[in-house]
Amino acid sequence: QYEALAARNLQAAEDWYRARCARLHERAARSQEAVRASRREAGECRRQLQARLVEMESLRGAHQSLERQLQELEERHNAEAAGLQDTIGQLEDDLRNTKNEMARHLREYQDLLNVKMALDIEIAAYRKLLEGEETLFNMGSGGLPSLNSLPSPTYSFQPRSFSSST
């Protein structure tokens, strides 16, 4: 009976040991599969991380390139703006000089016009004097009828002050 009991106990212990080993092997297999899955997931995460790092470096380079282009555009814009300001300044100087020159020409024209008016007045005065002499000459040689035949000139003498710079 002891031997049968010992054989049963031995059989039960071996069954328990085999069942326990089978469960442990099953757990180990599941754990190994979980470790493999974790490693695959970690590898995938590393690949994604590498891809993101490469993408980030690429974007950083693109960002730096765009910053340089922006700075170059700003410098070019500032240079063009300065050139345009210089052009505006030159055009304003030219306009001011042209206005001054036009004002000088206008003053000269006014002076010449005043001289012309004075000469016209002087010519009219001489004409009047000549006509008076002619009238006296005609009166002396022809009498009164010839005096009436001449048209009476109507000149008005208006003295004007003028300054001549020419």
Q: 3-state secondary structure string, 82-137?
A: HHHHHHHHHHHHHHHHHHHHHHHHHHHHHHHHHHHHHHHHHHHHHHHHHHHHHHHH
Tens-place pLDDT, residues 70-90: 999 999 999 999 999 999 999
Per-residue pLDDT, 147: 42
What are the Cα distances from residue 51, in Å, to 29, 46, 56, 94, 95? 32, 8, 8, 63, 64
**pLDDT confidence of residue 141:** 62
Answer whether residue 152 shows pLDDT above 70: no
Of 125, 127, 104, 121, the C-alpha closest to 161 is: 121
pLDDT of residue 142: 55
From the list 132, 123, 131, 134, the residue with the least C-alpha distance to 157 is 123
Q: Are 166 and 121 in contact (CB under 8 A)?
A: no
- pTM given for the model: 0.45
- Structure tokens belonging to residue 77: 């814009």
- Nearest by Cα to 159 from 120, 105, 127, 104: 120
CA angle centred on 28, ends 27 and 34, rounded to 5°: 90
On the question of pLDDT at 150 being above 50, the answer is no
Average pLDDT over residues 22-27: 92
